[in-house]
Structure 1
Amino acid sequence: MSRLIITFVTCFVLDNLLVIFLPIQPIVGHYMIIPNVFLICLALFTFYDKGIRPIIFACIFGLLYDICYTDLIGLYTCLFPIITFILLRFISQTMPVNLLSMMALVMGVVVFEEWFVYFIVNTMKTTNMSVMIFIKFILIPTAIFNTLITIPLYPILKSQFRKYQRQFLNEF
């Protein structure tokens, strides 16, 4: 279990480190790329644990995400468990676990998450960004970047979650 917590904390911190250390913004001009490494980790975890643990991790790290990275307390605390529930209930039961399906899943989850955040921020009138600007300069680059980040992350996370799954099954 400690290995699992370390994996989630590492992915959580990596979200911020990618923003700080990758020179994404100056290279691509006005485009804004938002790394979602933790969300990739959480989405993949739902395929290896079908119990309540993914939702618990989503709640805890959603609250931490709100405290550390956003101004709206409660946004990610609600959003991450909703995404996790949808993945657990509908998608992880039927979808195969391989690199291409995970890349497609990550693209879908990131698009859902970014649309939800944009909708909430736009509803609260804290942004004046139009939908077309949001799609062109934030949504598409973010979805592509996170899908590409899945390629090196997938084997690492898969091996960690398989070890956890084997350990968890041996306990019972």
Structure 2
Amino acid sequence: MIRLIMTFMTCFVLDNLLVIFLPIQPIFGAYMVIPNVFLICLSFFTFYDKGFRPLLIAFIFGVLYDICYADLIGLYTCLFPIITFILLRFVSQTMPVNILSMMALVMMVVIFEEWFIYFIVNTMKTTNMTLLTFIKMILIPTAIFNTIITIPIYPILKRQFKKYQRAVLNEF
């Protein structure tokens, strides 16, 4: 369980470190790329634990995400458990676990997350960005970047979650 928490904490911190140390903005110019390593990790985890733990982790880290990174308290606290519930209920039951399906899943989850955040921020009138500008400048580059990031992260997370799954099965 400690290994699992450390994996999630590492991914949580990696979201911010990629923004700080990876020169994303100069490479893409006016486009904006938002790393979602924690969301990738959480999405993968739903395939290895079908119980209550993914929802609990989503809620706890949603609160942490709101405190550390977001301006709106409660946004990620609600969003991460919703995404986790959808993945647990509908996607992880039928989807195979391989790199291509995980890349497609990451693209869908990131698009859903960014779209949801844009909808909330736009509804509250805290942004003046048009929908077309959002899609062109943020949504597409973010989805592509996070899908590419999935390639090096996938084997590491798969190994960690397989160890976790074996440890949970050995408890019973």
Q: Give the 4+ runs in structure 1 shifted more than 3 A.
A: none
Matching residue's letter, 1:166: R
Which runs of 5 or more residues in structure 1 are unaligned?
none
- What is the 5 A alignment of 1:7-26? 7-26=7-26
Matching residue's letter, 1:106: V
The alignment status of 1:46 with 2:74, answered yes or no, reads no
CA distance in 1: counterparts of 2:70 and 2:160, whole angstroms = 28
Query: Any idea what the Cα deviations from partners look like across 1:36-61, whole Å, max 9, x if unmatched?
Result: 00000000000000000000000000
Shift of residue 28, structure 1, vs aligned partner = 1.3
Matching residue's letter, 2:157: L
The alignment status of 1:161 with 2:172, answered yes or no, reads no
Shift of residue 15, structure 1, vs aligned partner = 0.1
- What is the 5 A alignment of 1:18-167? 18-167=18-167
Q: What SS does structure 2 have at the residue aligned with 1:35?
A: coil
Shift of residue 26, structure 1, vs aligned partner = 1.4
TM-score scaled by length of structure 2: 1.00
CA distance in 1: counterparts of 2:28 and 2:7, whole angstroms = 30
| RMSD over equivalenced CA pairs, Å | 0.3
Percent of paired sites with the same residue: 82
| Number of corresponding residues | 172
TM-score scaled by length of structure 1: 1.00
CA distance in 1: counterparts of 2:151 and 2:28, whole angstroms = 21
Matching residue's letter, 2:111: V
CA distance in 1: counterparts of 2:26 and 2:145, whole angstroms = 15
Shift of residue 90, structure 1, vs aligned partner = 0.2
CA distance in 2: counterparts of 1:106 and 1:27, whole angstroms = 22
Matching residue's letter, 1:69: Y
Matching residue's letter, 2:77: T
CA distance in 1: counterparts of 2:146 and 2:38, whole angstroms = 11
Matching residue's letter, 2:18: L
Shift of residue 7, structure 1, vs aligned partner = 0.1
Shift of residue 107, structure 1, vs aligned partner = 0.1
CA distance in 1: counterparts of 2:9 and 2:62, whole angstroms = 12
Shift of residue 134, structure 1, vs aligned partner = 0.2
